[in-house]
Amino acid sequence: MNDEPVMATNDDASECKRGAVQLGYWQDNYISLFAKQIQRKAPEIHRGYYARVKGVETFIHKFLKKAGESAQIINLGSGFDTLYWRLKDEGVRITNFIEIDFPSVTARKCYIIKRNKQLLEKIYEQDGEVKLSSTDLHAGTYHCIGADLRNISELETKFQQAEINFSSPTLFIAECVLVYIENDCVNRLLSWIATKFKSALFVNYEMCNINDTFGDVMLGNLRARGCTLAGVAACKNLETQQNRFLNSNWQGSKAWDMVEVYYALPTTERQRIEKLEFLDEQELLIQLFQHYCICIGWLGTEFAEIDINDR
Ligand SMILES: C[S@@+](CC[C@H](N)C(=O)[O-])C[C@H]1O[C@@H](n2cnc3c(N)ncnc32)[C@H](O)[C@@H]1O
């Protein structure tokens, strides 16, 4: 199987995020260390990324509020995500932070981290042991590991090396990742998590409502770049997204399309970013938002009440 086009989607995501950050959509002091500058994208792309990043962040903070300092975060298909450093800057303390992606992607990430003092100084803790290989980095509470999410036994070994704690309240994040993975493999991964963890929240951002012309165009664009969308069946609608969790022994699941997520973000922030660039086609943005969603799944009762509309 050729996973190269799927890995390349990480460059796309990080470059688009860098572009939006540069225009002032949100603050990220680290993304420019990972992603190169690209030609300016359309305003609706920037707003789409804004809703994605801020929507996921909203759930991260709801999780952290409930979980406290014993929290553990596991970012699946993390690519060049900068969440670890952003949370450090906010003064958030957690017990463990694990990032997983294909070894070729983590090798690039480890290389960039090793060469940047700004990134390094945030992961080295005093007197902490640092273990490095070409694809994996373990330092203090931060772990970046190369593994294929379709291979559970490899994941188990790598998780052990990352000192995973099955009894800590754990947040799993998958941002535009599961759509690239065969449904059988996603179900196996979700079921494995459900047998191992007692208290967990899973935040999944990806496509939904794909069975229309707009969806066809979106999928066609990805396929044209060589990406097999092996997990696309679960993106049919919000219900199929939720069923993925419910059928894999998770206790509960909820989902919101990005129209709802966007309008649940703080009004003042929304008004601020809407002034950054003139948007010609409001209709196009709404269509884009209708085709993406955030779906959560939970294990244990602690995270059952989480809702995007709660203040
Ligand atoms: C669209 S990118 C998103 C990256 C990051 N989550 C973000 O939103 O910025 C998808 C990522 O998922 C990773 N990925 C896809 N399938 C994977 C698999 N089977 N195992 C590990 N990583 C995978 C890709 O390598 C890529 O980095």
pLDDT tens for each residue of 215-249:
999 999 989 999 989 999 999 999 999 999 999 99
The answer to whether the annotation marks 40 as part of a ligand binding site is no
Q: How far is it, in rounded angstroms, from Cα 114 to Cα 169?
A: 29
Residues 6+ apart with CB under 8 A from 204: 174, 178, 241, 294, 295, 296, 297
Beta strands in 197-291 (DSSP E): 200-207, 252-257
Q: Is 15 in the pocket of ligand 1 (CB under 6 A)?
A: no
Determine the CATH number of domain 4-299: 3.40.50.150
Residue 286, judged by CB atoms within 10 A of its CB (0-12, 13-18, 19+), counts as middle
**Domain positions in the chain:** 4-299
The answer to whether the annotation marks 89 as part of a ligand binding site is no
The pLDDT tens digits of the residues spanning 43-98 come to 999 999 999 999 999 999 999 999 999 999 999 999 999 999 999 999 999 999 99
User: What CA–CA distances, in Å, run from 108 to 83, 125, 183?
Assistant: 17, 22, 28
pLDDT of residue 127: 63
Q: How far is it, in rounded angstroms, from Cα 311 to Cα 62?
A: 9
Q: Is 101 in the pocket of ligand 1 (CB under 6 A)?
A: yes
pLDDT of residue 133: 93
Using the mean position of ligand 1's atoms as its centre, give its distance from the Cα of residue 101 in Å: 6
Report which ligand 1 atom has the smallest distance to the Cα of 148: 20
pLDDT of residue 126: 61
Q: Is 234 in the pocket of ligand 1 (CB under 6 A)?
A: no
- pLDDT beneath 70: ranges in the chain: 125-127
Report which ligand 1 atom has the smallest distance to the Cα of 150: 19
Query: Which of 180, 187, 229, 292 has the most ligand 1 atoms within 8 A of CB, as the residue to mutate?
Result: 180
Which residue's alpha carbon is at the smallest distance from atom 13 of ligand 1?
77
Q: Is 6 in the pocket of ligand 1 (CB under 6 A)?
A: yes
Q: How far is it, in rounded angstroms, from Cα 16 to Cα 12?
A: 6
**Burial readout 139-154 (b: 16 or more C-beta within 10 A, e: otherwise):** bbbbbbbbbbbbebee
Report which ligand 1 atom has the smallest distance to the Cα of 75: 6
Rg (CA), the chain: 18
pLDDT of residue 252: 97
